[in-house]
Amino acid sequence: MFDKLEDLLIRYENIQNELVDPEVTNDQKRFRQLMKEQNDLGAIVEKYKEYKTTKQDIEDSLTMLDEEKDEEMRDLVKEELAQSRQNLEIIEKELKILLLPKDPNDEKNVVVEIRAGAGGDEAALFAAELMRMYIKYAETQRWKVDMMNYNENGIGGCKEAIFMINGQSAYSKLKYESGVHRVQRIPVTESGGRIHTSTATVAIMPEAEEVDVDLDLNDCRFDVFRSSGNGGQCVNTTDSAVRLTHIPTGIVISCQDEKSQLKNRDKALKVLRAKLYELELEKAHAAEAAERKSQVGTGDRSEKIRTYNFPQGRCTDHRIKLTTHRLDEVMNGDLQEVIDSLIAADQAIRLSRLNEE
């Protein structure tokens, strides 16, 4: 591990030297590549420098213990030595996490698809609340949300919502959200005061570029129709909505959020690429079944991942046995505690597997 860290440190220093070279600064493509590589290495290099400094502190303390005769001073040195050794253990663990292989999709934007599941109108109302929860979380991260399709049920619920979240490392934070979300509460439509259980499914898909997916437009059929639901003067009076059918897979995508038929067409293609890319990722995960079982879970839509219990004010993530009694805050987009716990659990599992190997 430390040989690799030394190599990374040397590479980081070489990049810094290259970035001040006039030939490199005049080549914008090369300059951007080096800046990205420097940014990727920065956290590891800084942590490794901290490791080396702490290691030196330990050696200096040991030397002082050998030379120091005053007992009071020796006690102080021993305290510093114990603290430095404790810090070194923490830094070593952090370095191992930073060196774990990164998901190549982590830096990508995401396409979020939310669908009402079992529970009728109550499921649709819950799906709408989940959509609001993710949009609120995106706002806390200063990410941009771009709605692609929203199919409401007439009472404020959502049968289906598809939207894109554009932001740095969006997929790395939201990828654990895919799966079945379950709500337990007394629906507004329930007159007898009974608690019902309803579900909604969430799919988090990394945005796919054209180079990621081999998409033949001859395999696509585009139909146009008049938008429905709330809209401006033009939205509901022109054939601006687009329905895209991918013939080989049978995937159907509707986009009607924009007034422009061309913009809706482009959005539908973005969603299709993300869905096709997700299918490829699922095949790759299936081919690595043993590895997938050891992960927290990042894509199986049939997996029940979380329960939102309103009568008890709690939210439970079943994969990592995490329960928080801050349900109101979670539904208002305060997801960071849950997301951080999922990331930490996944890292712990991967570190354990790395140590076994």
Q: Write out pLDDT tens, residues 309-329.
A: 999 999 999 999 999 999 999
Using CA atoms of 161, 206, 306, 332 in order, give the dihedral in degrees to the nearest 10: -60
Q: Does 297 score more than 70 pLDDT? A: no
Strand order in the sheet with 241-246: 220-225, 241-246, 251-255
pLDDT tier, 93 (very low <50, low <70, confident <90, very high otherwise): confident
Distance CA 180, CA 199 (A): 7
Q: What is the pLDDT of residue 299?
A: 46
Q: Does 122 score more than 80 pLDDT? A: yes
- Tally the domains of the chain: 2
Distance CA 162, CA 157 (A): 14
pLDDT tens sequence across 99-119? 888 888 998 999 999 999 988
Distance CA 250, CA 255 (A): 16
Last residue of a domain, one of 70, 98, 126: 98
Summarize the confidence of residues 234-252 as an average pLDDT: 79
pLDDT tier, 24 (very low <50, low <70, confident <90, very high otherwise): confident
Question: Would strands 179-185 and 304-309 be described as parallel, antiparallel, or unpaired?
Answer: parallel
pLDDT tier, 289 (very low <50, low <70, confident <90, very high otherwise): low
pLDDT tier, 240 (very low <50, low <70, confident <90, very high otherwise): confident
pLDDT tens sequence across 338-348? 999 999 999 88
Last residue of a domain, one of 98, 133, 164: 98
Average pLDDT of every residue of the chain: 87
Asked whether residue 235 is assigned to any structural domain, the reply reads yes
Are 23 and 130 within one domain?
no
Are 254 and 135 within one domain?
yes
Percentage of the chain beyond pLDDT 70 is: 90
Distance CA 327, CA 314 (A): 5
Summarize the confidence of residues 188-215 as an average pLDDT: 85
Are 65 and 204 within one domain?
no
Asked whether residue 145 is assigned to any structural domain, the reply reads yes
Last residue of a domain, one of 47, 76, 98: 98
Q: Which of 160, 138, 135, 165 is nearest to 149 (CA)?
A: 160
In contact, 207 and 108? CB cutoff 8 Å: yes
> Distance of CA 184 to CAs 31, 181, 203, Å?
53, 10, 21
Are 184 and 312 within one domain?
yes
Are 94 and 114 within one domain?
no
Range of the domain at 51: 2-98
Asked whether residue 177 is assigned to any structural domain, the reply reads yes
Question: Lowest-confidence range among 96-100, 219-223, 250-254?
Answer: 96-100
Counting every residue, how long is the chain? Answer: 357
Q: Does 251 score more than 80 pLDDT? A: yes
